[in-house]
Amino acid sequence: MTTHAAGRQPVRGFRAPRLSLKYRAAIEGWLFVSPMLAGFVIFFVGPLVGVALYSLTKWNLLTQQSTFIGLANYADALTKNPDFWLVIRNTAIFAAGLVPLNMALALCLALALARPRFGAVFFRTVFFAPVVTSAVAWAIVWKFLLQGQGGAINELLATIGIAGPNWLREPNWAMAAVIVTRVLKMVGLNMILYIAALQAVPRDYEEAARLEGASSWQIFRMVTWPLLGPTTLVIMVITTIGSFKVFDHIYLMTGGGPENGTLVLAFYIYQQAFKFFDVGYASALAMIMFVMVFILTLLQLFLARRNSK
Amino acid sequence: MTRRTRQAVYRTCWILALSAVAIPFVFPFLWMISSGFKSANEIFGQPNLIPSVWHWENFAEIFRYQPFARQYFNSIYIAIVVTLLVLVFSSLAGYALARIRFAGSALLMLFLLSALMVPEEVTIIPNFFLFKWLGLMDTHVPLIVLPVFGSHGIMATFLMRQYFLALPKEIEEAATMDGLSRFGIWMRIALPMSRPALAAVAIITFLFSWNLFLEPLVFVNSLNLFTLPLALSNFTDPYGLPLWHLQLAATSLAVIPILLVYIIAQRQIIESFAMSGVKG
């Protein structure tokens, strides 16, 4: 401010002092991230804290009362409510069916289509098409195809003399049907990730092995498969987490039925929160889901680090 | 057999095997389209892929049954708004995380990364009360805001960051010498150089918004505000049983434009998903 009186350079005095580069970078950096960060804190971090707090209350939306009850919701889920373990069992079965089936099919398709061959692009496009299709559309069409009476699948089976079951009305068949149709919907994505990984495998390795007299299976087993390790790990975790999150597919195809046979965690949370308005209990379930996904992700990071060593 | 015939036989077998595998991927689309043209009675008769009579009036009926044009428009405009917002915010944040070395950026990265672990199902309950409190229930605001700032937006941010990191630094340094501001560098230099990443983010974001189901289901009640996935699930008779011919005709209308774009731009679209890598 002292230069102000000097007459010749009046502007100088009103300028902010020259910022050090470091200081300036900090302002710029935080300004650039601020729109995303602000929204993220309000609509993501806040709610995450919120759901943790809700899970400690007994809060029924209809009575509009919420009282602090500590960990009683968790105790309820783990020890009292028989539905909870059924839901965990269903979620585990769904994941245990979906993940290996999805990954095996994705790998086979990728092995068939990774090299530029006649028709490879065409078939890649076909297998990926359900990924860009909405899950709602896919579920609607498959529900239609799987109708017990007059559904296309059963009509086709009838022509070769097989009486198909009422797919979506019998618990075990419903689970199988939901898993298989979900695999068909999502397998293209893993196929693409595997293709990308396969194309990164240097051809020299395989050719060297071939010159040594290795069979195709041996080359796959000893050369290709180990090189795919990191990709397989990532795909496995993504697919497992994805299987925990499946909601629209279940909502539209079975509604969790029959006899709760396809009642999985994501759907159960929705049901408890928005159908039965049991907010506290639903929040505890959401926290349990969060922890499950969290552990899986940490496991992936841990395994990835160990692999890279 | 000569070598050439053997190759031809081999190739034919290969195509036949893949075609067999492709049946459950293609058949649902064909069946969906053909059933949309059938009458309510024919739909569960003999399984004919070609309808005996083409009931074009099904498609008119859709628009009488619910405000389908309006719902279609909702889906389009919401997806466009979400895509634009994600493009701007994720490229801004991604640029800062890649290029500006500022205090706290490493911690911020970790903070944002943790978002990729949290499914929407976990945060949707408090968000329900948040939007209720804000008086924004039964509006499109949650359907726009949540995808932008949720794990999808964060994933886009990291995708952009990854791409910015790979760009040559020299051009930006030269621009700084010429007196361009940070913002100017982002807009005039970094963004034009990252078209492939922006395209990838745009494609996966548009589809993400277009296919969103849980959020519309929770936040929207009025028929006029429905988006397509919600509208499609709503073709039922008074007893809640599906009106299959209408539902499938409407589903065809919703799916076919996306499929056509996909077929034309399949390479670009598939690459976009491969780039994002973390979706599933």
Q: Do A304 and A212 belong together in one domain?
A: yes
Indicate whether B33 and B124 sit together in one domain: no
Q: Which of A22, A117, A294 sits opposite B117 (nearest CB)?
A: A294
Return phi, psi of residue A68, to 5°: -75, 125
Window A:67-96, CB contacts with B under 8 Å: none
Please indicate, yes or no, whether residues A36 and A109 belong to a single structural domain of this protein.
no
For residue B32, is it within any domain? yes
Provide the pLDDT for residue B242: 82
Say yes or no to pLDDT of A10 above 50.
Answer: no
Instruction: Tell me the mean pLDDT in the region A115-120.
Output: 84
User: What CATH number should be reported for the domain holding residue B270?
Assistant: 1.10.3720.10
Domain of residue A145: give its range: 70-308
B6 occurs within a structural domain: no
Is A110 in the same domain as A31?
no
Same domain, A109 and A200: yes
- Most A CBs within 10 A among B12, B37, B102, hence the mutation to make, goes to B102
**Within-domain flag for B157:** yes
What domain range is B96 assigned to? Answer: 64-279
For A226-267, what is each residue's pLDDT tens digit?
889 888 988 998 899 899 989 999 999 998 878 888 999 999
Give the Å distances, CA to CA, from B241 to A27, A134, A160, A298: 58, 21, 30, 44
pLDDT of residue B277: 66
Residues of A in Cβ contact (< 8 Å) with B120: 245
- pLDDT, position A15: 52
Q: Is B226 part of a structural domain of the chain?
A: yes
CA A165 from chain centre, in angstroms, equals 30
The mean per-residue pLDDT over the stretch A279-307 comes to 86
Closest CA to B220 of B136, B277, B110: B136
Q: At B221, is the pLDDT very low, low, confident or very high (cuts 50, 70, 90)?
A: very high
Query: A188 near A130, Cβ under 8 Å?
Result: yes
Residue with tokens 């049907």: A177
The answer on B160 and B45 residing in a single domain is: no
- A209 and A243 share one domain: yes
- Please state whether the peptide bond connecting residue A82 to the residue before it is cis, i.e. omega within 30 degrees of 0: no
Of A96 and B103, the one with more pLDDT:
A96
Distance from CA of A233 to the nearest CA of B (A): 12
Distance CA B162, CA B201 (A): 12
- Judge whether B14 lies within some domain: no
What φ, ψ does residue B135 adopt, rounded to 5°? 70, 30
Quote the pLDDT of residue B172.
85
Residues A49 and A172 in one domain: no
Please judge whether A50 and B126 are an interchain contact, meaning their C-beta atoms are less than 8 angstroms apart: yes
Instruction: Using an 8 Å CB-CB cutoff, list chain A residues near B259.
Output: 129, 132-133
Residues paired with A59 in a beta bridge: A66
- Tally of structural domains, chain B: 2
The answer to whether the CB atoms of A29 and B22 lie below 8 A apart is no
Judge whether B4 lies within some domain.
no
Q: Between residues A51 and A309, which one has the greater pLDDT? A: A51
As a whole number, mean pLDDT of residues A161-181 equals: 90
Is the pLDDT assigned to residue A3 strictly greater than 50? Answer: no
pLDDT at residue B118 is higher than 90: no
* pLDDT tens string B195-209: 999 999 999 999 999
| Contacts for A232 with CB less than 8 Å, ≥ 6 apart | A103
Q: What is the pLDDT of residue A2?
A: 41
The rounded percent of chain B whose pLDDT value lies above 90 is 56
B241 touches chain A (CB under 8 A): no
Q: Name the least confident of A50-64, A71-85, B18-32, B138-152.
A: A50-64
User: Are B140 and B247 members of one domain?
Assistant: yes
pLDDT at residue A307, as a whole number: 67
- On whether both A28 and A133 belong to a single domain, the answer is no
Could you tell me how far CA B154 lies from the centroid of its own chain?
Answer: 16
Residues A39 and A115 in one domain: no
Closest Cα of chain A to B173: distance in Å? 14
- How far apart CA A106 and CA A95 sit, in angstroms, is 16
**For chain A, how many structural domains are there in total?**
2
Mean pLDDT of A214-232: 87
The pLDDT of residue A19: 66
What is the residue type of B160? M
Tens of pLDDT, residues A45-82 = 999 999 999 999 888 776 677 788 888 889 888 888 88
Residue A223's φ and ψ, nearest 5 degrees, are -115, -60
Instruction: Encode pLDDT of A72-101 as tens digits.
Output: 889 888 888 889 999 999 999 999 999 999
pLDDT of res. A122:
92
| Tokens 């993501």 found at | A44
The predicted model gives A28-53 an average pLDDT of: 92
Residue B10 lies in a domain: no
Of the candidates B7, B36, B55, which is a domain's last residue?
A: B55
Q: Are residues B38 and B163 in the same domain?
A: no
Query: Are A90 and A29 contained in the same domain?
Result: no
A98 neighbors A187 (Cβ within 8 angstroms): no
Please tell me whether residues B249 and B273 are part of one structural domain.
yes
Residues 184-223 of B with CB under 8 A from A: 186, 207, 210-211, 213-214, 217-218
A49 and A148 part of one domain: no
Distance, in Å, from the CA atom of B42 to the CA atom of A239, rounded to the nearest integer, reads 39
In this structure, the answer to whether residues B43 and B132 fall within a common structural domain is no
Least confident of A145-159, A237-251, A275-289: A145-159
Asked if pLDDT for residue A1 goes beyond 50, the answer is no
Dihedral sign (CA A79, A82, A87, A93): positive
A177 and A267, same structural domain?
Answer: yes
Tell me if A176 is assigned to some domain.
yes
Supply the pLDDT for residue B240. Answer: 76
| pLDDT of B237 strictly over 90 | no
Query: DSSP class of residue B280?
Result: -
Give chain A's radius of gyration (CA, Å).
27
B45 and B79 in a single domain? The answer is: no
Instruction: Say if residue B31 is in the same domain as residue B159.
Output: no
Q: Determine the pLDDT at residue B40.
A: 81
CA distance A206 to A216: 9
B109 and B41 belong to one structural domain: no
Residues within 8 A of B (CB atoms), A 97-156 only:
109, 112, 117-119, 121, 123-138, 140-145, 147, 149-152, 155-156
What angle (nearest 5°) sits at the alpha carbon of residue B160, between those of residues B156 and B161? 115
- Domain assignment present for residue A4? The answer is no
B205 and B262 in a single domain? The answer is yes
Same domain, A37 and A75: no
Residues B107 and B36 placed together within one structural domain of the fold = no
> Would you state the structure tokens that stand for residue A243, as one six-digit string?
């299987």
**pLDDT exceeds 80 at position A34:** yes
Residue B73 inside a domain? The answer is yes
* pLDDT tens-digit map of B42-55: 887 677 778 888 88
Q: Is residue A7 part of a domain?
A: no
Give the dihedral sign, CA A119/B207/A176/A297. Answer: positive
Across all residues in chain A, what is the average pLDDT?
86
Q: Which of B24, B44, B145 sits opposite A150 (nearest CB)?
A: B44
Under the banding of pLDDT at 50, 70 and 90, the label for residue A11 is: very low
Do residue B43 and residue B105 come from a single domain? no
